[in-house]
Amino acid sequence: MSRTRHRLAALVGAAALVLLPAAPVHADGIRPQQWGLEALNTDHAWRTTQGEGVTVAVLDTGVDDQHPDLEGNVLPGKDFIGFGAGRGDRSWARHGTAMAGIIAAHGRGPGDRDGVMGIAPKARVLPVRVILEGTDPAREKARSSRGTALAQGIRWAADQGADVINLSLGDDSESAHPEATEDAAVQYALGKGSVVVASAGNGGEKGDRISYPAAYPGVIAVTAVDRFGTHASFSTQRWYATVSAPGVDIVIPDPDRKYYEGWGTSAAAAFVSGAVALVRAAHPDLSPAQVKKLLADTARDRPQGGRDDARGNGMVDPAAAIDAAKALRPRDPRRVTEGYTKKYFGPGPQVPEPEHASVGWLAPLAGGVGALVLVGAVVLWRADQDDLV
């Protein structure tokens, strides 16, 4: 199997939400449960901006642009898969809609009740479909024919002028390796001025294996913490960790008009993408390298010694970053590492070991479940009050 087909297999294999039994709550109770907004000092940041004029590309399983919490905030996007589940199917756009909601939902839920509020509610979402949900019957076909979708999607998003590219996905299987086309696409996007954010991986209880694209140079890699600021046990600990963000008990919207509570580094990356949207709205001329260093320098609750592999430089703080950016002078985005001298900017992909012939197509499904996934989710509320479960 080629490396590109292998990579897509790992990405595709982890695009499912696990639904667990739980008592639903009324939609009016959703907003108070969004502890992540308070943890990130969002109210303080909103005194300056709510993300106006910023575009965040969400490279994922698709985004439901008709969801009441997102309607009006989603731009026309692009589908690099071209087949699979469509609107109305249960295996369509669940993960991508959840990430878009964390980033840019405006809180007008079903029935005009309070719904999910994103961290940058006035930012625009550019949906780019580069992967299928794990429950999509067409994923086998995608595995063999769409191995370059992620790299293509990153380049396309950069060409559309995306200010931020959210990659709540990755390959952290046992056979994960860097892809030259993906690495080049990331560097291309950074050179065009797009800030690239990725989830660090959900392999914390499975060996902390390196996850790509989080490990590519210049990427802001995000680990997950709970509401107490404690490192989530599932969150991968690696040298590339930049900052941490809420990733446990996160309220998310779904195309079925229910709300769920999920957890994973996918959610943490989405929070940071929203935080970057706020910074870029306030300071649009900063380079990706400046934004990355800014988030690291202004992070709260720093680990002992200033940084560790579990939480990076600490909890992202968009309000502090916005304030600190006032003293910066914009730099050329094409100079990706300009102004960033610490070794934890990332050494980049290492030379991969020879691929063993025994690695089959199903191996990533066993090892890469921490890639594109909210590890679990529970239903909180849905619009059809007569059919609650």
Q: How far is CA 252 from CA 17, 29, 283, in A?
A: 11, 13, 28
The secondary structure of 236-282, three-state, reads CCCCCEEEEEECCCEEEECCCCEEEEEECHHHHHHHHHHHHHHHHHH
CA angle 112, 115, 121 (to 5 degrees): 105
Q: What is the pLDDT of residue 268?
A: 98
Please give the span between the terminal C-alpha atoms of the chain, in angstroms, as a whole number: 43
Taking alpha carbons only, the member of 16, 18, 104 closest to residue 60 is 16
Give the start-end residues of each E strand in 21-132.
55-60, 78-79, 106-108, 114-117, 124-129
Q: Which bin fits 313, alpha (ψ -120 to 50), beta or left (φ > 0)?
A: alpha
Q: 183-232: per-residue pLDDT in tens?
A: 999 999 999 999 999 999 999 999 999 999 999 999 999 999 999 999 99
Q: What is the pLDDT of residue 144?
A: 81
Asked, for residue 197, whether it belongs to a domain, the answer is: yes
Asked, for residue 232, whether it belongs to a domain, the answer is: yes
Establish whether 358 is a catalytic residue: no
Establish whether 175 is a catalytic residue: no
Q: 356-369: per-residue pLDDT in tens?
A: 433 222 222 222 33
Asked, for residue 386, whether it belongs to a domain, the answer is: no
Establish whether 60 is a catalytic residue: yes
State pTM to two decimals: 0.86
Residues 6+ apart with CB under 8 A from 207: none
Continuous segment of H or E residues that includes residue 164? strand 164-167
Question: Choosing from 95, 106, 177, 231, which is the catalytic residue?
Answer: 95
Share of the chain above pLDDT 70, in %: 77
Distance CA 162, CA 139 (A): 27
Asked, for residue 304, whether it belongs to a domain, the answer is: yes
Could you list the residue range(s) of the whole structural domain that residue 103 is in? 3-341
Of residues 15 and 296, more confidently modeled: 296
Distance CA 39, CA 17 (A): 24
Asked, for residue 385, whether it belongs to a domain, the answer is: no
Q: What is the pLDDT of residue 336?
A: 52
Q: Which residue shows structure tokens 């390796």?
A: 177
Q: How many domains does the chain have?
A: 1
Task: Answer yes or no: is pLDDT of 142 > 60.
Answer: yes
Task: Answer yes or no: is pLDDT of 373 > 60.
Answer: no
CATH number at residue 116: 3.40.50.200
Q: If pLDDT is split at 50, 70 and 90, which confidence band does 173 have?
A: confident
Question: Choosing from 60, 64, 163, 171, which is the catalytic residue?
Answer: 60
Question: Choosing from 173, 194, 211, 266, which is the catalytic residue?
Answer: 266
